[in-house]
Structure 1
Amino acid sequence: MLSGATEKVKTSVSTTGIRDSISLGILNTVIELGKSLHKQRAGTSSKPKSEVREVLEKELTGFLQGRVLEDAINPLLGMKDVNIHLDMPMEILHMILLGVMKYFWGQTVFLLKKANLVSTFQSRLDAIDQDRLNVPSLNVEYICCYKGGLIGKHFKSLAQVMPFVIHDLVLQRVMDGWTSIGELVVLLWHTKIDNTDEYLVKHILTGGFWYEPQLQKWVQAAPAVLDFLSEHPEHTRLLGIKVNDEAPTTLCGTGHIT
């Protein structure tokens, strides 16, 4: 067993972002056995590396119980055309709403309390037009009264409105965080596309990225394509893409030009 095996495994897990619980138990057992075999006891000499390797290979064979090594590894990790980071299914409630959002909400509330701006926040939240929100009710009074006991539906509501409510109440980096969360949840809850071809055209022409299999990377339309739409709003409208004539044109892959 090579020296520093435990740290090398930790480094590999940290570098790749992959932790296979199926094979990790076997691997840790082999590492500990290797350490034990290498350890020099009083009055004895340490075992030669060849002997240690032979013992470890025998133990590993016993752990596998007649299986090949690949069968002791999570099959998803070796599946063809699957990137475990990009293609792993996720559970929105606990990973996003009660994960990222819950803790970001807690820190934001702390900042608002510290600046004595909770009442201002509540007034703004109460003034939000709820007709277009993808929630049955915003329930402002409950949210502001029980700030530390919110559940998924409350965070789903807040994700849609926070940047508009806190835009000058918190630091810019906090504002940027909520903006990123808002962009994320749009992707999570946009679960139905009536016309895929039309959606993809708008997505690409407004600066959205798509995965190019031949290049094996995410790509974006060339600047000339994006500039054409910016410079010819009449064509943009024909594509059904909204244009804000009063503001500078930016492209963001949302199906809108603002």
Structure 2
Amino acid sequence: MSQSGLIKHDGTGKKVEISMKRLKVTVPHFDNSSLIEAYSKTLIRRCMNPHMQDMKALLYMLPRIWKVEDRVAGADLGLGRFQFDFDPEEDIMEVLKMEPFHFDYWMLSLVRWAPAVNPTYPSAIMFWVRIVGVLLHFWADVTFESIGKALGDVKKVNLDEGNVQIDGGVETTVYLRYERLFGFYKFCHSLCHDQQRFPSRPDSTERKVKEDYNDEHRNGQGAASYKAATVHGNVGNK
């Protein structure tokens, strides 16, 4: 057992620390292979900023955006996580092709379910990253794969769009643009909170973020949230 502290207010308004025992339970080993098999066609997701994302609207809207509303079952797992159970394998593959996903201006992590025990699972988000500035005489798979491997695990290269190093002793500067990246705080680049929940934000930075956000949406460049689209009858995956 271990102890943790809890702060509460007494009748006089003063803060009082209360010790609480944290109980650790060990579950005996058992054969859970049938449970694992049962979730073989499940996609599990996590809201990157659950304070700003409406779970009920999300569970309702996503199957309709995917056009599988009559073939999937969704469930809220708590703590910003949820799952969708599929039947045909083809439906899962088609949905995964649509990554990355966002809802109400904030990102969602979606993966095929696996028996993971990490408390932050799932957290992976697959992006298409456009590489801008590659010299034409290096425009080849090996170039984009080399740049991509410096960033992470390369899944695919699209030469038509210029998605994902320049070798041979030649150096140049390239720029990265994450396609369909929504909901991040520009001061610390977090996907998990906005400026209101940033613990030590400078006023000037907060003001600049709000100005950037307002300018972007005033000019019609911001994507409509799914919740807003529902109200106005205009639904689509941005």
The answer to whether the superposition gives a TM-score over 0.5 is no
Alignment TM class, shorter chain as reference: under 0.3
TM-score of the aligned structures, taking structure 1 as reference length: 0.24
* Larger relative strand fraction: 2
* Larger relative helix fraction: 1
In terms of Rg, which structure is larger?
1
Which structure has the higher relative contact order (CA within 8 Å, separation 6+)?
A: 2
